[in-house]
Amino acid sequence: MAARTIPSRPRRGRLSLRAKLTGSVVVLLTVVCLIIGVVSEFALDVFLTRQIDQQLSAAANRSLVFASNVRPPDGGPPPESLGQHPLGQNVGTVSATFSGRRLVHDDSISEHGGRLELSTDQQALMLSVRTDGEPHTLSFDDLGEYRLMALRVPGTSDVVVTGLPMKPINDTLLTVGLILFGVAAAGVLGAAVLGAFAVRRTLRPLDRVAATAGRVSELPLDRGQVALSIRVPEGDTDPRTEVGQVGSALNLMLGHVAQALEARHDSEIRARQFVADASHELRTPLAAIRGYAELAARGSALVPPDVAHSMDRIQSESVRMTALVEDLLLLARLDAGRPLDARDVDLTRLVADAVGDARVAGPGHRWLLELPPDPVLVFGDVQRLHQVLANLLANARTHTPPGTTVVTALARSADGHAVVTVTDDGPGIAPDLLPDVFERFARGDSSRSRHAGSTGLGMAIASAVVVAHHGSIEAHSRPGRTEFAVRLPVAVPAQRVHRLGTTRPQLDTAS
């Protein structure tokens, strides 16, 4: 029974192709939206700043004209009407006329339209603006950011500083930024949903190709005749698409695999037929050799001792070869699917007899037997089932040292199967041999075996006989514990068949 390779599980954290494609679309769209938002905000900031600079220039000229009119020609103090403001100034405009470091006139307007008196710190900040006729941005602690421009009054040393608030621009930029963010977030979320749907729909052909490969991977391709008729649907093999190229290549590969499997099966049939024919042909000469050897052994007293010893060896080896030929013939018959003679078999008695025979053959081992209180009946070939038990016990005896404890247990499982286990506490089976333990001519290494002469067919025969009875056999081993488990279906007594292989026994699932 060949070992089945279990596919390794995917590592955690790995994303599927569908998730990667959807994530790539979302990330790309997010970056594009971010770039668009930043560029839009920057362009809007430049545009609005240019507009406020134009407004600031007009407001500064109005303040300059107003300062020139309210300033007496002789340079005396300004008139008492300091509460007046230049015509056309907007609310929130700050404007002050300075003569050196002294405030000459303050015509600032609060955001509510009233008169705004500048504090000493605010006046000092306005005095720090360069008198170059260019707009500058400064921040008042309580008024916020302002765009300021300083102009010199013609014919005097006075300086008029005018400023417009940046709050409308900042509010506009914030509002537009929030709108852009909301629209971009909604767009990215919608693109993620639609992108996932589009990617899933686009990758459906690839899913069908993967499903085809999965169905092929579940087929038992290791032995026997395999009808590999599974193919990728024709609609998924269009060479103009990438998925179609994969599907077409997979179909081509499956065709080659099918041809290889057919050739392998034909080769197996020829090899088995050759083994069967050769074994059958060897039976006659081996019988003649054994007969002549036994005849010669009767006159061993009349021949020299070395000749008598040689004849004895010829007889013993012919017996061993006959057993090997019989094993090969049995395997050939089982491979050919020939039905076995079947009847009711008391597996409890069969197990007890097999353990009793093993105790006589291996007195150096400790043989233990565990049987259920009620008999366990199966429907099968009593001779072949006895051979299975004998092979398992002989395997435990041959490949473990004296003093090893071998426990043979029989039980009936809840799913209606008879379970026979043979467990020993020997050195165990080598890990590299365990997957092939039921293959033909598989032998253990020298650390497990103390005796030579094993043909390597015992476990293969046991597996073939159990499979012919619609059962299963497994082996588990580690140092200090080796267990062979045989599961056989329990037949309903009222339903009988004359031969195994023609009709499968009905399982008794009552227990």
Report pLDDT for 282. Answer: 77
Q: Which of 186-190, 313-317, 398-402, 406-410 has the lowest mean pLDDT?
A: 313-317
Q: How many CA atoms lie less than 13 Å away from 66 in the CB half-sphere?
A: 26
| DSSP codes of every residue in 319-355 | HHHHHHHHHHHHHHHHHTTPPEE-EEEEHHHHHHHHH
Give residues with Cβ within 8 angstroms of 176, minimum separation 6.
40, 41, 44
Residue 411, pLDDT above cutoff 70: yes
Average pLDDT along the chain: 80
Q: What mean pLDDT is predicted for residues 324-344? A: 75
Q: What mean pLDDT is predicted for residues 280-290? A: 78
Residue 357, pLDDT above cutoff 70: yes
Tokens of 453: 């002469």
User: What's 115's DSSP letter?
Assistant: B
The model's pLDDT over 57-71, given as tens digits with 9 standing for 90+, comes to 998 888 888 877 755
Q: What mean pLDDT is predicted for residues 189-208? A: 84
Report pLDDT for 161. Answer: 92
In angstroms, rounded to a whole number, what is the distance separating the alpha carbons of residues 393 and 115?
A: 113
Count other Cβ atoms within 10 Å, centred on residue 247: 26
Distances (CA, A) of 398 to 221, 408, 422, 450: 33, 16, 14, 7
Q: What mean pLDDT is predicted for residues 110-134? A: 85
Q: Is 6 exposed, middle or buried (0-12, 13-18, 19+ CB in 10 A)?
A: exposed
Residues in the chain: 511
Q: What mean pLDDT is predicted for residues 95-100? A: 87
The model's pLDDT over 215-240, given as tens digits with 9 standing for 90+, comes to 787 777 766 666 777 888 877 777 88
In angstroms, rounded to a whole number, what is the distance separating the alpha carbons of residues 62 and 405?
A: 115
Q: Which long-range contacts (CB under 8 A, 24 or more apart) does 216-221 make?
A: 216/254, 217/7, 221/257, 221/261
The model's pLDDT over 438-456, given as tens digits with 9 standing for 90+, comes to 887 766 544 344 444 456 7
Query: pLDDT over 90 for what percent of the chain?
Result: 23
Report pLDDT for 5. Answer: 43
Is residue 158 very low, low, confident or very high in pLDDT (cuts 50, 70, 90)? confident
Give residues with Cβ within 8 angstroms of 446, minimum separation 6.
none
Q: What mean pLDDT is predicted for residues 95-108? A: 84
Give residues with Cβ within 8 angstroms of 193, minimum separation 6.
none
Residue 494, pLDDT above cutoff 70: no
In angstroms, rounded to a whole number, what is the distance separating the alpha carbons of residues 420 and 459?
A: 15
**């009593």: which residue's tokens?**
382
Report pLDDT for 349. Answer: 92
Pair 264, 299: CB distance under 8 Å: no
The model's pLDDT over 423-436, given as tens digits with 9 standing for 90+, comes to 999 898 888 888 88
Report pLDDT for 450. Answer: 40
Report pLDDT for 208. Answer: 82
Strand-strand pairing, 102-106 and 136-140: unpaired
The model's pLDDT over 456-477, given as tens digits with 9 standing for 90+, comes to 788 888 888 898 888 999 999 9
In angstroms, rounded to a whole number, what is the distance separating the alpha carbons of residues 450 and 484?
A: 20
Q: Quick one: how far is CA 413 from the chain centroid? A: 34
Report pLDDT for 507. Answer: 34
Residue 505, pLDDT above cutoff 50: no
- The β-bridge partners of 160 are 97, 151
Count other Cβ atoms within 10 Å, centred on residue 143: 22
Tokens of 217: 């991977």
3-state secondary structure of 419: strand
Pair 249, 212: CB distance under 8 Å: no
Report pLDDT for 290. Answer: 78
**More confidently predicted of 107 and 145:** 145
Report pLDDT for 448. Answer: 42
Count other Cβ atoms within 10 Å, centred on residue 358: 23
Residue 420, pLDDT above cutoff 90: yes
Report pLDDT for 444. Answer: 57
In angstroms, rounded to a whole number, what is the distance separating the alpha carbons of residues 2 and 115?
A: 99
3-state secondary structure of 14: coil
- The β-bridge partners of 96 are 106, 161
The model's pLDDT over 363-402, given as tens digits with 9 standing for 90+, comes to 999 999 999 888 888 888 888 899 899 999 998 998 899 9
